[in-house]
Amino acid sequence: MTKIAYVSYYIREIYTSTTEDEELTLLNFLLDKGLSVERVVWNDPSVDWGKFDLALLKSPWDYTEHLTEFRQWLSHLESLSISLLNPFDKVRWNMDKHYLQEIADAGLAVINSIYLEKGSTFEFNSLQKSFNTDQLIIKPCVSAGARDTYVLTPDNFATHQQQINNLLKDNSFIAQPFMKEIFKGEWSFLFFNGVYSHCLLKVPKDGEFRVQHYYGGSINVPQTTDQYILAAKSYVDQFAEGCLYARVDGLIVDGMLNLMELELIEPYLFLHTDPESFENYYQALRVHL
């Protein structure tokens, strides 16, 4: 029987996407299906990775704080010929938001972006002119949970300019126009082995733009249309081949889905929002076993 490492992290509540304990619920679901699966922490030095055939990335949510160590861990697993879900090449590619440029270059709709490379200087006025807007959002190219994310206007950019320039000494950032469509909600479409499973709408609380529940965001499960599902699938078909799971996050802009993130490493899957989702996940996993 395939021995599966169910890869998690040392529990820190800041990273949780909802109050639902998806990690434990899914683990128990897979155990009840008779799979040989064990929860392990990715950077726990006591783990004997050699005893596993497959590593299933579920919630290594702190990897962005230990990036060098995480890359070394990936290389270690690869050297042991352990299969990884999602695959090593997709995980490495998806770690840095520069991947969005590749998706945009392929002709798919992506929120307009400009990269501020490490060592550069933040210039609000030039970005303002490039985007033709008075409101920008910038965030690290490697980040999680809206950390070090800024919404900037002509009134407040000077307050944050030095702090951003300090961060740019060691990190690259991505700048985008602030999309007011976020107030209507951010869509997430979930796919398992490239097959659509379910979707949901994450809505920020009044006066907030961040949709995470620890910022007061809420989750709705409204009806969507095949148009948006097909649009979401186009990102998965072109850039998530071989992936057990993929989450397409985006906004509806002028009637079209525009990509914000294609999540292929450790996305929260919102399995509790759809009664078929756990079985969909399990059936997709069986293919990889």
Tokens at 11, concatenated: 């529990």
Name the CATH superfamily, with its identifier, for domain 99-109+181-276.
ATP-grasp fold, B domain (3.30.470.20)
* Whether the bond into 28 is cis, omega within 30 of 0: no
Q: Indicate the helix (H) or strand (E) that contains 280.
A: helix 277-288
Q: How far is CA 96 from CA 49, 90, 92, 99, 143, in A?
A: 26, 11, 8, 6, 8
Tokens at 230, concatenated: 């097909």
pTM: 0.93
DSSP lists the bridge partners of residue 115 as 174
The topology under which CATH files domain 3-94 is Rossmann fold (3.40.50)
Domain boundaries, the chain: 3-94, 99-109+181-276, 114-178
4-58 pLDDT, tens per residue?
A: 999 999 875 555 555 578 999 999 999 999 999 999 999 999 999 999 999 999 9
pLDDT given for residue 90 in this prediction? 98
**What CATH architecture does domain 114-178 belong to?**
2-Layer Sandwich (3.30)
169-193 pLDDT, tens per residue?
A: 999 999 999 999 988 989 999 999 9
CA distance 117 to 6: 34
CA distance 180 to 6: 38
Taking the CB of residue 129, how many other CB atoms lie within 10 A of it?
Answer: 10
pLDDT given for residue 215 in this prediction? 59
pLDDT given for residue 13 in this prediction? 53
